[in-house]
Amino acid sequence: MRCNNRRTTRCATCAETYRRDTYQLITAGLRGGKGTPEQVAAHPRVFATFTAPSFGPVHNRPDAGRCRCGVRHTPDDPALGTPLDPDGYDYEAAVLWNAHAGALWRRFSIYLRREIAKRAGLTQRAFRQYARVSFAKVAEYQKRGAVHFHAVIRLDGPTGGDTPPPSWASAELLTDAIRAAVAAARITGPVLDGRAHTFAFGRQLDVRVIRSADLGGGTELTDRAVAAYIAKYATKGAETATGTLDRPLRFLAELAGLDLSDHARRMIRTAWALGARKDLAHLRLRAWAHMLGFRGHFSTKTRRYSTTLGALRQARAEWRRLQATIARGETPHDPAAEPEETTLVLGHWAFAGTGLTPGEQWLANSLTPDTSTEGETAHA
């Protein structure tokens, strides 16, 4: 029996199945197939990465030079992503950012449609008659424990991938609209001890145009590379990037017996402490302290992007049943070969009789008690 856990640290087998399904889902929205028309490969498509803002300087590996600490870190250095000054790091804002990241993405998606309509000279209501935005995204944890998003964003016709986009739609227009929407998207957070929190995406926004596979020359971003990259992070959580937990905490005292980094431990403690506040009860920070406050779905998509994970699982289950039937030497079940169900309609009636037959009447009388003997005492 499969446990269907997507985390590779909990079940490598189920996680691999989840990763492959995610790959097929993303690929279908890029090149077609599995119910998605192949013409989506010609629609404007970009791959965008949305990062979190800064909560304080951390150890990193810059492209040129050394880290701010003066050390040239190796890729597997456990210090990467940890604060240079833990006491000055804004742990409160970092946890609250994770808790509001999903709402910020929804705000961005609204603004994106507005920005595209503005560049096309349309109102937001009229935009729905000409084009539709389809996307699929996955959440990934950075080394510092902050969530960021990778997304495939596609511009379709009014009904989705089965209709061509309007003539004014282009990857350049989509890229420009994404940058404007990111700059405008804001979420107002809670006010804690007189400090107001407002959340927005970080400045390191990366938007790249996706080219079809036959145009790939080594430097182009192909649909295959994008699908593989997104699927890789669909099975990972905070435990992979920051070395935190892959299961919920029941008591904060459990941290004492766990091998965690100081940074991950402080993030969890901050989430647990904030979760005790009544004004933050809706964020359920204690239930999601092991995920450093993030409680959103790790992979989401719009309805018209491509197929669904449920449809892929059903197709796989049907294929396995077919293989098991063949292995037993039985004839595979073909629903199309079954006769259609019909309803029998009687158009003629014939008289069958009325009342009881003599035998039925005698049996009925023998089962009916004699009223003349009721109430009398039986004698031996």
Q: 228-258: per-residue pLDDT in tens?
A: 888 877 776 665 666 677 788 888 888 888 8
Q: What is the mean pLDDT of residues 313-341?
A: 75
Q: What is the mean pLDDT of residues 70-76?
A: 85
What's residue 83's pLDDT? Answer: 92
Match 């259609």 to its residue by tokens: 340
Contact assessment for residue 270 and residue 87, using Cβ atoms and an 8 Å cutoff: no
pLDDT of 66 higher than 70: yes
pLDDT of 365 higher than 60: yes
How many other CB atoms are found less than 10 A from the CB of residue 367?
7
C-alpha pair distances (Å), 34 with each of 21, 25, 43, 285, 335: 12, 9, 18, 38, 20
Q: pLDDT-derived band of residue 218, with 50, 70 and 90 as boundaries?
A: very low
pLDDT of 219 higher than 80: no
Question: What is the rounded (10 degree) CA torsion for 298, 89, 96, 239?
Answer: 30
C-alpha 15/C-alpha 8 separation (Å) is: 5
What's residue 240's pLDDT? Answer: 62
Higher pLDDT, 34 or 215: 34
Q: What are phi and psi of 204, to 5 degrees?
A: -85, 70
* Mean pLDDT for all residues in the chain: 84
Higher pLDDT, 296 or 197: 197
pLDDT of 197 higher than 70: yes
Contact assessment for residue 231 and residue 55, using Cβ atoms and an 8 Å cutoff: no
What's residue 4's pLDDT? Answer: 67
Q: pTM, whole model, 2 decimals? A: 0.79
Question: At residue 187, what is the residue type?
Answer: I
Lowest mean pLDDT among 51-55, 92-96, 265-269, 351-355: 351-355
What's residue 216's pLDDT? Answer: 42
pLDDT of 15 higher than 80: no
C-alpha 115/C-alpha 175 separation (Å) is: 10
Lowest mean pLDDT among 140-144, 173-177, 208-212, 262-266: 208-212
pLDDT of 310 higher than 70: yes
